[in-house]
Amino acid sequence: MCDEGTNRSTEKEFAILVRVFEEDTLVTKFLHMPVRNIGTAVRLFTSLTKVLSERNIDWNNLVAQQ
């Protein structure tokens, strides 16, 4: 899950949350919150890709949830 917002200094904050199984229980965890000056879709996607890469999380291991 991702959510983007603007803080008081007009910086864009991009909260990235993940859902993982821990001991057969689905839990939601905070992964990272990069700050960007511009909150375009391209910038947000680039930020998400960088965070996943830094943590060795392959896109093939991600599952969309409805």
What count of Cα atoms within 13 Å lies in the side-chain half-sphere of residue 39? 15
Residue 34 in any domain: the answer is yes
Per-residue pLDDT of the chain (66 residues), as tens digits, is 555 565 566 677 788 898 888 888 999 999 998 877 777 888 888 889 999 999 999 999 888 776
Residue 63 in any domain: the answer is no
Residue 40 in any domain: the answer is yes
Q: Which residues sit opposite 14 in a β-bridge? A: 4
What is the number of structural domains in the chain? 1
pLDDT in the model for residue 2: 56
Residue 31 in any domain: the answer is yes
The SS3 assignment for 5 reads: strand
pTM over 0.85: no
- The whole-angstrom separation of Cα 59 and Cα 66 is 18
> What is the domain range of residue 32?
2-57
- The whole-angstrom separation of Cα 43 and Cα 50 is 10
Residue 66 in any domain: the answer is no
Residue 65 in any domain: the answer is no
Residue 33 in any domain: the answer is yes
What count of Cα atoms within 13 Å lies in the side-chain half-sphere of residue 61? 10
